[in-house]
Amino acid sequence: MDFLALFAVYVAVVLACIVLVCKYSGRQQTPAAVLLDAAAKVVAPFTPKWLQKASQWTLHTLFHQRNNLFVYLHVLLEVAVYAEFTYEVFGFCREMDTSLTSLSVPYVLLAIKTFLFYLCISSDPGTVTRKKAAGQALIYPYDRRLFHPGLSCPTCRLVKPARSKHCRLCNRCVQRFDHHCVWVNNCVGARNTRYFLLYLYTVCAMAGDVALLTADMLLHAVLKSGLLMASYIDESGQQQPAGPVFVVQHLFLTFPRIVFMLGFLLFVFLLLVGYALFHSYLALVNQTANEWYKSRGYTCQHCHPTAAADHLCYPAPDQSGRYYYSRGILRNLGEVFFPLRPVQKKDN
């Protein structure tokens, strides 16, 4: 049971770290930042000033400005998983006569994911600039619940288009702002939400496919060894049939790295599937994560049927409250994958 306890701790730590990063990414205060700030205050009287300055700079870099730390961590975890899969699982699967077509799918998905990952990192999410602001303001009407006309961004000193938000980490206003993703070190907005969604789907497919091939390999190893029909002598000298716990312990002893990798993939897969489903739901109802978070528990008391009267690009939306910008599933998805462009007013 020592191996099972160790694996349970490992899974709990990995899952907790991923959940915390996803929940608090892009926020001003995170549990890690608060904890580190408190620890820094305790040790400050005993720490040289040069080390204090270095620590403050590190904390500011990690939690209050853009950095590539999680991009590098993402790549490192990916390399570790694929190295283990290629080094051990691939060979075992070939011995089991698994087709090369099946074994090539994870690498094809990796190539597609890498391309989408690059697009998420490098693409402009829809930055609101002085030159574009007037045209971007014509795309969406103000719902007068979450977004009100005439409000300016104090940092960018521009009138904020509806559905835009200033990203503290990127120091810019983003059109149809969804969230800032630390894993791609970029905002997700009007221009790159499509890439982010496809990226999520591809990562889910990668994790699921590698986990499926790995689990199939371990199952064949158990069946081939005859463990399910075996027995063992317990501490009291009694003969006991080999049950699931015995089989798992045997797999830990025989394939420790593969079992740890499989556990990591399963939990990452479940977490990412939930996250992908959430963003798919947002796409279907034409809502951003920023709007969803702000509108939780909000009850619309004063809808404005004439809010879109002075806007050219976007027809009057459904006034049913929370899903103000929804125009039907197909048109909502079309807006995500083919972002609306501003239409310039013509001079009469």
**pLDDT tens readout for residues 115-160:** 999 999 999 999 999 988 889 999 999 988 889 999 999 999 999 9
**Same structural domain, 51 and 133:** no
Same domain, 89 and 15: yes
Tell me the residue range of the domain where 257 lies.
1-24+67-298+329-342
Judge if 52 and 175 occupy the same domain: no
Q: For 70-91, how does the pLDDT look when each residue is reduced to its tens digit (9 = 90+)?
A: 899 899 999 999 999 999 999 8
Has residue 147 been placed in a domain? yes
Evaluate whether residue 305 is within a structural domain.
Answer: no
Angle, helix 244-254 to helix 193-225, in steps of 10 degrees: 100
Is residue 100 a part of any domain in this protein?
A: yes
| H or E segment and range at residue 259 | helix 256-285
Q: CA–CA separation, 343 vs 106, rounded Å?
A: 42
Integer CA distances (angstroms), 3 to 171, 247, 249, in order? 47, 12, 7
**Residues 259-277 pLDDT 10s:** 888 988 988 898 899 999 9
| Domain match, 55 and 135 both | no
Residue 95 lies in a domain: yes
Q: Are residues 127 and 149 in the same domain?
A: yes
Number of domains making up the chain: 2
**Domain-terminating residue out of 15, 45, 63:** 63
Whether residues 6 and 41 fall in one domain: no
- Catalytic site includes residue 181: yes
| Residue 273 placed within a domain | yes
The pTM for the full model equals: 0.78
In a domain, 275, yes or no: yes
User: Is residue 323 situated within a structural domain?
Assistant: no
Residue of 170, 181, 187, 204 marked catalytic: 181
In a domain, 221, yes or no: yes
Same domain, residue pair 117 and 48: no
